[in-house]
Amino acid sequence: EAGVAQSPRYKIIEKRQSVAFWCNPISGHATLYWYQQILGQGPKLLIQFQNNGVVDDSQLPKDRFSAERLKGVDSTLKIQPAKLEDSAVYLCASSPPGRTPEWDGYTFGSGTRLTVV
Amino acid sequence: AQKITQTQPGMFVQEKEAVTLDCTYDTSDQSYGLFWYKQPSSGEMIFLIYQGSYDEQNATEGRYSLNFQKARKSANLVISASQLGDSAMYFCAMRERDTGNQFYFGTGTSLTVIP
């Protein structure tokens, strides 16, 4: 079974530029998540989609971050304009539909490492 | 308040020895799950082990076991017979039924296995 695909793996941009990340979840996983992991910290949820609808975006800095999920499958996360503090690894994850605290095959991608200079 | 606390920024263990990574959690939800993930330098989050709040037995997966003490709200990871490939960051995480499917992660513990 293919895992969660993310691209690019690495990106270096200057502050005030824009950048976009792409994620393709596991086939059949209705729920998709974007996490931000700053160096030395654990991942923090930015946004959660159920199919192509937003379930939770309470921690997404909406003045500069945006995300969409095309046709309930692939998703893109955009930052415009980027700040130095946006340097982090951006992880995408997906899980089957439903709400459970149990293990359900929730899978993370390898992440995109963003450096803003 | 932090939902997940990992107090060991770095740990060292001799190859073939066992090591315990500490994790405490905070929740008022009666139904929750506790997880451990391994993150090597390549960046992916690798699922290791899961413990449900209603599980009475400690979870085990191969060389990994989870020492679950519900009253103390702790969920320590024990790695037996450490291998060089175990060197990585380890994250404790929690999911709660009431707050949806997002994970709450700790700050991680960097484990180094010494030959």
Q: Does residue A48 contact residue A54 with C-beta atoms inside 8 Å?
A: yes
pLDDT of residue A83: 97
SS3 B6: coil
* List of chain A residues whose C-beta atoms are within 8 Å of the C-beta of residue B68: none
Shortest Cα distance, chain A CAs vs residue B83, angstroms? 23
* List of chain B residues whose C-beta atoms are within 8 Å of the C-beta of residue A35: 103
Residues 6+ positions from A79 with CB-CB distance below 8 Å: A18, A19, A20, A64, A65, A86, A114
Query: Which of B50, B102, B106 shows the shortest C-beta gap to A42?
Result: B106
Taking an 8 Å cut-off on Cβ atoms, the answer to whether A106 and B108 are in contact is: no
Sites in chain B below the pLDDT cut of 70: 100
Q: Give A75's strand partners.
A: A23, A69
Q: Does residue B30 contact residue B11 with C-beta atoms inside 8 Å?
A: no
pLDDT of residue A23: 97
**Which of A89, A95, A102, A113 to mutate to probe the B interface, most B CBs <10 Å?**
A102
User: Tokens 């191969």, residue?
Assistant: B62
From residue A72, give the alpha-carbon distance in Å to each of A25, A52, A107, A109: 10, 4, 17, 17
Our CA dihedral for A84, B42, A55, A20, rounded to 10 degrees, sits at 50
pLDDT of residue A101: 77
Question: Chunked in runs of 10, what are the mean pLDDT values of chain A (117 residues)?
Answer: 90 97 94 94 93 91 94 94 97 86 86 96
Integer Cα distance of A93 and A23 in angstroms = 9
pLDDT of residue A1: 62
Interface of B with A (CB under 8 A): 4, 29, 31-33, 35, 37, 42-45, 47, 50, 52-53, 91, 93-97, 100-103, 105-108
pLDDT of residue B6: 97
pLDDT of residue A70: 80
Integer Cα distance of A18 and B82 in angstroms = 43
Integer Cα distance of B115 and B113 in angstroms = 7
